[in-house]
């Protein structure tokens, strides 16, 4: 599970690393069961991507928002425990001594009776074809800073020195519709700003800077098979609109790293 080019990761802000196939199968199986429950369509590991897509596309926008909000897209149980074990071995790859995953925030814990203060924050993201199911370009550190000392501040199982993010492609991910980075932007003075949206503060980036740097966005994957990407929480990234005719589903989580 070693990262082959740790120096490149520090320069670029990201690196591709292997993701265990048995863990990926377990995560996908968990998600299919959740989609089946939310759509009343029977799905399993033999279901085609078209069948998964149609099950979700048949929901109205209101039902999709209600049934696929972030708290309802959280991995739990055995897949979550296995992901935590996967993360615990990552420090060997780039010089840390200990790593873990943060828990949900107090606000998120209150949203579901099955959550507690040790529920891991392991969301999976579902992006419908030709829908606005993606957010604006950002760096994760912006959310951490805005939410600090509020009920949206994630609980953490340990003291840490750095935060890294892992993004795992699962269903329908390809070069044109998947996560994009601005290489090296974690080392730059990016003009972060904050905006008020629906009475809450949201992170944003100066529009002129984004226009000037639009051509630098690129998807880091050459192959989506058995791989994931780890990246700095200071790295500018985005999920592009899904212009394919099939669903895109991924898993993501933050790594807390002790040096």
Question: Using alpha carbons only, what angle is made at residue 123 by residues 220 and 86, rounded to the nearest 5 degrees?
Answer: 70
pTM, to two decimals: 0.94
H-helix segments, 68-206? 77-88, 91-94, 106-110, 140-147
In this prediction, the residues of the chain whose per-residue pLDDT falls under 50 are 1-5
Rounded Cα distance, 40 and 42, in Å: 6
Given this model, what pLDDT does residue 4 score?
42
Give domain limits for the chain: 6-258
Summarize pLDDT for 173-204 with one digit per residue, the tens: 999 999 999 999 999 999 999 998 877 889 99
Q: Which of 49, 46, 5, 43 is nearest to 169 (CA)?
A: 49
- Joined together, the tokens standing for residue 173 give 């991910």
Burial class (CB in 10 A: 0-12, 13-18, 19+), 108: buried
Please name every residue paired with 163 in a beta bridge, in sequence order, or none if there are none: 256
How far CA 17 is from CA of 14, 86, 220, in Å, comes to: 10, 12, 11
What is the third-level CATH fold of 6-258?
A: Jelly Rolls (2.60.120)
Cα–Cα distance measured from residue 26 to residue 43, given in angstroms and rounded to the nearest whole number:
14
Residue 131 neighbours by CB under 8 Å, 6+ apart: 61, 241, 242
């Amino acid at each position: 599970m070693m990262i082959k080019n740790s120096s490149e990761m520090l320069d670029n802000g990201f690196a591709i690393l292997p993701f265990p196939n048995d863990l990926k199968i377990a995560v996908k199986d968990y998600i299919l069961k959740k989609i089946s429950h939310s759509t009343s369509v029977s799905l399993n590991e033999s279901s085609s991507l078209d069948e998964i897509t149609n099950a979700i596309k048949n929901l109205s926008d209101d039902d999709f928002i209600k049934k696929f909000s972030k708290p309802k897209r959280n991995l739990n149980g055995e897949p979550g425990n296995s992901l935590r074990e996967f993360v615990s071995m990552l420090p060997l790859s780039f010089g840390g001594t200990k790593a873990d995953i943060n828990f949900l925030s107090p606000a998120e814990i209150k949203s579901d009776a099955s959550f507690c203060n040790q529920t891991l924050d392991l969301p999976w993201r579902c992006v419908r074809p030709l829908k606005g199911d993606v957010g604006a370009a950002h760096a994760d550190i912006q959310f951490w800073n805005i939410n600090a000392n509020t009920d949206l501040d994630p609980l953490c199982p340990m003291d840490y020195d750095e935060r890294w993010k892992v993004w795992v492609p699962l269903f329908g991910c390809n070069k044109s519709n998947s996560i994009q980075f601005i290489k090296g932007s974690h080392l730059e003075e990016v003009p972060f700003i904050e905006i008020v949206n629906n009475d809450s503060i949201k992170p944003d980036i100066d529009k002129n800077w984004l226009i000037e740097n639009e051509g630098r966005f690129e998807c880091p994957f050459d192959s989506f098979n058995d791989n994931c990407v780890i990246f700095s929480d200071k790295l500018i990234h985005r999920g592009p609109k899904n212009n394919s005719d099939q669903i895109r589903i991924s898993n993501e989580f933050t790594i807390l790293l002790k040096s």
